[in-house]
Structure 1
Amino acid sequence: MSALRNIKSLAPLLDRVLVQRIKPETKTASGIFLPESSVKEQNEAKVLAVGPGAMDKNGQRLPMSVAPGDKVLIPQFGGSPLKVGEEEFTLFRDHELLAKINE
């Protein structure tokens, strides 16, 4: 199997959602840099790609609850992690996402 070179070539299947965690701020509004130990891992992520949706028992496609570009709240654990170069991504099922963040 060849290594995935570009995350844009990954197309989630069924009801899967590809997200990337939003990195927490390492600097305060006043410009003070925070040590890594004080910066908690965020549970916010940006949706990069979504599958077409799962099928119900009648063969009808169920719509996805999020779209690329949406910000979502993801669970602390779970999902399928992916690494492309130095970048980290995670695949979740649509129903595993906790919330959509409306801004």
Structure 2
Amino acid sequence: MAASTAVKIVPLGDKVVLKRQEAETTTSGGIVLPDSAQNKPQRGEVIAIGDGHVKSDGTKIPLTVKEGDKVIFSSYAGDEIKVGDEDYLLLRESDILATF
């Protein structure tokens, strides 16, 4: 039996793992942007979610977002992590501003 090379990230609590949307490489007019001029997008897709917020009495409230949701998040939210060849963003659900 071959070992799986896929790594599964399991966020804890109210944390969410996102795959950031690719940066725009051209403008609407067709001008190619150099890497230094490309902004990191504030959009991404939810890859994994934690098991929820813990209230002061110890009960858990499930997260609002779910795997596969497309979201918009705060500019400087979360921590960038690299797993294998893939880059992800790990942040709190509260840093997510909207779904689309």
Q: TM-score range by the shorter chain?
A: 0.7 to 0.9
Residue equivalent to 2:73: 74
Question: C-alpha root-mean-square deviation of aligned residues, in Å?
Answer: 2.2
SS, match of residue 89 in structure 1:
strand
Residue equivalent to 2:43: 44
Query: Deviation of residue 67 (structure 1)?
Result: 0.5
CA contact under 8 A between 1:54 and 1:61: conserved in structure 2?
A: yes
How many residues of Structure 1 are paired with residues of Structure 2 in the alignment? 96
CA contact under 8 A between 2:73 and 2:98: conserved in structure 1?
A: no
Query: Deviation of residue 32 (structure 1)?
Result: 6.4
Query: Deviation of residue 84 (structure 1)?
Result: 1.7
TM-score by length of 2: 0.77
C-alpha distance 78-101 of structure 1, shift in aligned 2 (>3 A): closer
Alignment of 1:1-103 (within 5 A): 6-7=6-7, 9-27=8-26, 33-97=32-96, 99-102=97-100
Which stretch has the larger CA shift, 24-33 or 35-44?
A: 24-33
- Identity over aligned residues, as a percent? 32
**Cα distance between partner residues in 2 of 1:35 and 1:80:** 24
Give unpaired runs (5+ residues) of structure 2: none
SS, match of residue 45 in structure 1:
strand
More strand by share: 2
